[in-house]
Amino acid sequence: MGALLILVQSFVSNVSQPPTLKATMSDRSNHKLVPLHERLEDEEAHSLLEEYRISLTDLPKIRISDAALPPGVSIGDVIRITRDSRTIEKAIAYRVVVE
């Protein structure tokens, strides 16, 4: 029992900083359970809004801090979320990025 305690103490003392949650959970966007998030080009977003006769404020919102967002997204961008579905092949939803 004493040797095990010394081994554990040695291991703990050699760790300079424990890993943070952010470091261990980085890049969650590529996890198999996270649906595909894509930023729409301005033309695509404009045609989407015209097709459904809505404005940008009518879209559901997604926070800029959401880990599933692709890099380079800014506030006001429209995101297409594509999920696998059991009833239809792909379910598509749209969100606008907010603060």
pLDDT at 7: 46
Where do the domains of the chain lie? 2-98
pLDDT at 6: 52
Tell me the CATH architecture of domain 2-98: Alpha-Beta Complex (3.90)
- pTM value? 0.68
Quick one: which of 50, 51, 42 has its CA closest to 77?
Answer: 42
- H helices of the chain, in order, are 2-14, 21-24, 42-52
pLDDT at 47: 96
pLDDT tens track of the chain, all 99 residues? 555 545 444 444 555 555 555 554 556 666 777 899 999 999 999 999 999 999 999 999 999 999 899 889 999 999 999 999 889 889 999 999 999
